[in-house]
Structure 1
Amino acid sequence: MPLIYRAALRPGWWVALWVLLAAAWFGQPLLSGASFEHGFFGLFWYTMLALATLLWALPSEQGWDGSQFYRRWRLLGFITLFKRHYPPARFRRILLEQESHLFGRDSLWLVLDGEARLVFGHWRASAGGHAHARALAAALAAATGLPFAEPGDQAG
């Protein structure tokens, strides 16, 4: 049974597109100035926006295809451009790690831990995020045979 975590096409992914479009609109005055400074900052602004748009347009997704883990990068979430495989023997356990934030909700990460580490998914550390993460971790543990270490069992 394939298990997939994808960030593309989720609401936050579309919000990021609107933020990029707003930043492009906001930077228009940098292009209209005749001074060197305007041209330099305009070039810098739109180069950074082009980089951010490239990163937005190539989201990654992680999955289990029944025999091995994979991470693939897809153009706009649809066309696979690059895929990397990870054998399950490289991992010892499945972890949920919570990262504290000074402002806003914490982040919750689903991590495959072993000789290598693979971040399989991430959520906001809300009740719903914990429920989704635990459900996916339990499904991965059942499908792969890797033990699922509960958040208090992360030693070792």
Structure 2
Amino acid sequence: MIVHRTAFRPGWWIAAALLIAAAWWGQPLLSGASFEHGFFGLFWYTMLALATVLWAVPAEQGWDGHMLYRRWRLLGLATLREQRHAPGEFTRIVLEHEAGVFGWHRVWLVFEGEHRFVFGHWRASASNLAWADALAKQLATATGIPIAEPGAEAG
């Protein structure tokens, strides 16, 4: 079993702390008597509610020995929705490198075939590139799907 999840990593907890801090910071918007305070308070807390829902339902991707899957889990614990894909739907595994606009380059581990299945993405540091490469090789061995040569055109 191979699993890539974002829940319970440090960034996930930092995002929770930022959401709590933003909720605390927005309290004065609710205490004002003017229409503007109420409007901006409603807008602020609506955006925080949306961000909290997105935070509270992280996705995880994995290989269970037979199928690739993506699960959306409430607080990383209870499965709400799951998609499953047979390895026969994909023809190759690709490590895509994306240049960031602000200098943060990313690497994406993608299964390609009739459609694309993103297994994971990381900031493209040397250690993360090695991690992504090792995970791609582990998935190729487990699924029998070949890894595309670097620079191969999408097909």
Please tell me the residue identity of whatever aligns with 1:33. G
Measured after TM superposition, the shift of residue 28 of structure 1 is 1.1
- By how many angstroms is 1:105 displaced? 2.1
TM-score, with length taken from structure 1? 0.95
1:104: Cα distance to partner?
3.4
Residue identity in the other structure for 2:15? A
Structure 1, unpaired ranges of 5+: none
Alignment of 1:120-139 (within 5 A): 120-139=119-138
Alpha-carbon distance in structure 2 between the residues aligned to 1:148 and 1:30: 53
Partner of 1:66: 65
Amino acid at match of 1:96: L
Instruction: Name the TM-score, length of structure 2 as normaliser.
Output: 0.95
Q: Which runs of 5+ in 2 are unaligned?
A: none
Runs of 4+ deviating beyond 4 Å:
none
CA change 1:151–1:34 in 2 (3 A) is farther
User: Where does 1:77-88 land on structure 2 (aligned, <5 Å)?
Assistant: 77-88=76-87
Q: CA deviation at 1:37?
A: 1.1
Q: How far off is 1:102 after superposition?
A: 2.2
- Amino acid paired to 2:123: R
Query: Residue deviations 1:73-96, cap 9 Å, x none?
Result: 111111111111111111111011
In the aligned structure 1, how far is the partner of 2:70 from the partner of 2:52? 20
Q: Does 1:35 find its partner at 2:20?
A: no
**1:21-54: CA deviations, max 9, x gaps?**
1111121111111111111110111011011001
User: Is 1:112 aligned with 2:106?
Assistant: no
Q: What amino acid is the match of 1:131?
A: A
Q: CA deviation at 1:58?
A: 0.4
Task: Give % identity.
Answer: 65
Tell me by how many angstroms 1:19 deviates.
1.3
What one-letter code is carried by the residue in structure 2 that aligns with 1:36? F
Matching residue of 1:56: 55
Contact 1:96 1:150 in 2 (8 A): no
Distance 2:153 2:23 in 1: 44
RMSD between aligned residues:
1.1
- Equivalent pairs counted in the alignment come to 155
Distance in 2 of aligned mates of 1:19 and 1:68 = 36
